[in-house]
Structure 1
Amino acid sequence: MRIKKAVVVPIISLLALVFVAFLFNVNNLSISKTSMENSVADMAIGSYPEMAAIEDEKLDFVSDNGRVEPSKVITNVHISLETIEFGSTTDNLNEIINKNKGYIEDSSISHNNYINNRIYKYAQYTIRVPKESMDSFINEISSIGNIVSQSTSKQDITKQYYDTESRLNVLKIKEERILTLLEKAEKIEDIIAIENQLSEIIYQKENLTKSILDMDDKVSYSTVSINISEVEKLTSGVTTETTFATKIANAFRDSLYFFKVVLEKFLITFIYVLPYFLIIGVIGILVYKFVRKKGK
């Protein structure tokens, strides 16, 4: 059965009107909800509509994606070295620090137990060195002792730094606006509300300023941790590039060194027990003479 065209057209028109009316009602509901929220916010901040703009202001920061190289990098270096002349090594270290305009942040010197009848020293240094002097400082350190290990770590804080800087700038703008509102305020409750918000902004601003100063310090001055161990013999550095002749020479020197150590220990031990041997020998001779005389 065919539906007449005269009937279909009015039905389609009616459905279209219903759909448009539905959309209109949804929009009205959304607008009403938004208006209600804004009214509540206005009541909360008093009779100053400018406060709404400050309260709703975002602290978002869009980083600069055009940066090719990080401009804020924290560098930490750890070095372990050994020396047979502890006093001269520490003196040379102080000279190198002063030459490169660094300073000692922390240091300690301890005395180890007796090793081969000698007291050995151990030192720990935490040194801050300007980043532009780091290369020359590290190169000169290798001349004051035998480096056993060395490691370097870097931390890129560029995004964190500019994030913090951007938030600080936004807080400064908010602080200026709130101070302007504070001058216009007349009601006690408005003055108290504005001062409370001002205190919170000042607190946040101080924390961000402290964070920026701390990051600037860590970036401008690299941290170098140095451990110095006093030893009787330096460790022979053998790598994959060490030649066979060098390995033989090192083995020969090590053999002579250990022979010397064993001989010294033997002589020292012999001197320690020599009085006991003399006493035992005298007693043995007397006993022998007594037994022999008794036998006759």
Structure 2
Amino acid sequence: MKKFIFAVIILLSLFSCSSKGGSEQNGNFLSTTSSISAPQARMKESTSSDYASDSSEKTAERKLIVSVDIRVNSKDVEKSYKSIEEKLKEYNGYFDNVESSKNRYHLTIRIPKENLYAFIDFIEQNEKVENKNINTQDVTETYYDTENRIKNREVLLEKLRNYLREARNIDEILKVEDRINTLTYEIETMKGNLKNLQSSVDYSRVTLNILNPEAIKSSTNIYNKYLNLISFLKAFFSGILFFLVGFTAAAIPIVLILALFYYICFGKIGLIKKLYNKIK
């Protein structure tokens, strides 16, 4: 057991020296949880120096994410859409999302970065561009930093697997396996992020809106007229209803008074009738 622990300490010390230029490591790797996490701390410290050397070798390969927003006015949105669809196939691009209505298209396009500006030129030459916005995001540092973090973790992961083969104690095995699982998850997550980042670099995103403003304006006017008609009819029938309610409320007392007058004068009481009979 002591020989195994001593071998682990020596290996981790050598790993630390290679990434930090000769710094010493203290502590027992497998004695406590904190000692297991020590290689990760050294790995993080070595990342910046590793990145500095690697990025200097790759300065010509900058990682840029380009996003473009374009608004196009067209008298025939279907024709414009078909034209753009054909050109997009020619440039090896594709539609990431398509939303359409009678007089408009909202398109999300992914196109290889080397064909982006040729595609924009095609749109400007064949369509009436109302608005255009190009945004460039430099992710070079993030990309190579992530790449180097993956490499460092893979080196550490291989060392931990070697330690696991030599482990004899159950407690040691469980601790190393837990650290291996954590590192494996981190590596897979970083690789996924790196893949998405590379995809965003390789394929620029173009958000394209194709509109027929005249048709939209006409449709809006018709819709507004329809709303005005509905409002007028509502007001008209509301006025009639209000009049009937008001008339009924005012007529009820009059009707009651007339009914009472008839009852007293000509009904069962018949005062006028009795008076007439006396006079007669």
Q: What TM-score do you get using the length of structure 1 for normalisation?
A: 0.58
C-alpha RMSD of the superposition:
2.8
Query: Residue 203 of structure 1 corresponds to which residue in structure 2?
Result: 185
Conserved? CA contact 1:61–1:167, under 8 Å = no
Query: Residue 44 of structure 1 corresponds to which residue in structure 2?
Result: 32
Q: Paired residue for 2:63, among 63, 66, 72?
A: 72
Query: Residue 167 of structure 2 corresponds to which residue in structure 1?
Result: 185
Query: Residue 116 of structure 2 corresponds to which residue in structure 1?
Result: 134
Q: Paired residue for 2:133, among 130, 151, 154?
A: 151
- 1:40 Cα deviation from its structure 2 partner: 6.8
**Structure 2 vs 1, CA of residues 156 and 128 (structure 1 numbering), >3 Å: closer, same or farther?**
same
Query: Residue 82 of structure 1 corresponds to which residue in structure 2?
Result: 73
Query: 2-side partners of 1:185 and 1:56: how far apart?
Result: 23
Conserved? CA contact 2:72–2:130, under 8 Å = yes
1:61 aligns with 2:48: yes
Query: 1-side partners of 2:76 and 2:41: how far apart?
Result: 66
Conserved? CA contact 2:112–2:203, under 8 Å = yes
1:74-110 Cα shifts (integer Å, max 9, x gaps) = 0001100111112211110101110111000001002
Q: Paired residue for 1:125, among 76, 87, 107?
A: 107
**Secondary structure of 2:92's partner?**
coil
Structure 1 outlier segments of 4+, above 6 Å:
none
- 1:122 Cα deviation from its structure 2 partner: 1.2
1:118-159 Cα shifts (integer Å, max 9, x gaps) = xxx111000001011112101111233210000100000001
Query: Residue 249 of structure 1 corresponds to which residue in structure 2?
Result: none
Structure 1 unaligned spans of 5+: 1-36, 112-120, 234-260, 266-296
**Structure 2 vs 1, CA of residues 123 and 158 (structure 1 numbering), >3 Å: closer, same or farther?**
same
Query: Residue 103 of structure 1 corresponds to which residue in structure 2?
Result: 94
**Structure 2 vs 1, CA of residues 76 and 45 (structure 1 numbering), >3 Å: closer, same or farther?**
closer
Conserved? CA contact 1:93–1:144, under 8 Å = no
**Secondary structure of 1:147's partner?**
strand
1:177-201 Cα shifts (integer Å, max 9, x gaps) = 0110111111111111010000000
Query: 2-side partners of 1:109 and 1:42: how far apart?
Result: 61
Query: Residue 276 of structure 2 corresponds to which residue in structure 1?
Result: none
Conserved? CA contact 1:122–1:229, under 8 Å = yes
Conserved? CA contact 1:81–1:228, under 8 Å = yes
Q: Higher mean Cα deviation, 85-94 or 64-73?
A: 64-73
**Structure 2 vs 1, CA of residues 189 and 107 (structure 1 numbering), >3 Å: closer, same or farther?**
same
Query: 2-side partners of 1:200 and 1:158: how far apart?
Result: 27
Specify the code of the residue in structure 2 equivalent to 1:105.
D
**Structure 2 vs 1, CA of residues 101 and 180 (structure 1 numbering), >3 Å: closer, same or farther?**
same
Conserved? CA contact 1:84–1:230, under 8 Å = yes
**Secondary structure of 2:130's partner?**
strand
Query: Residue 196 of structure 2 corresponds to which residue in structure 1?
Result: 214
Conserved? CA contact 2:157–2:183, under 8 Å = yes
**Structure 2 vs 1, CA of residues 39 and 137 (structure 1 numbering), >3 Å: closer, same or farther?**
closer
Query: 2-side partners of 1:191 and 1:68: how far apart?
Result: 43
Matched residue pairs, number?
A: 187
Conserved? CA contact 1:129–1:223, under 8 Å = yes
1:224 aligns with 2:209: no
- 1:67 Cα deviation from its structure 2 partner: 6.5
**Secondary structure of 1:179's partner?**
helix
**Structure 2 vs 1, CA of residues 198 and 41 (structure 1 numbering), >3 Å: closer, same or farther?**
closer
**Structure 2 vs 1, CA of residues 110 and 174 (structure 1 numbering), >3 Å: closer, same or farther?**
same
Q: What TM-score do you get using the length of structure 2 for normalisation?
A: 0.61
Conserved? CA contact 2:76–2:212, under 8 Å = yes
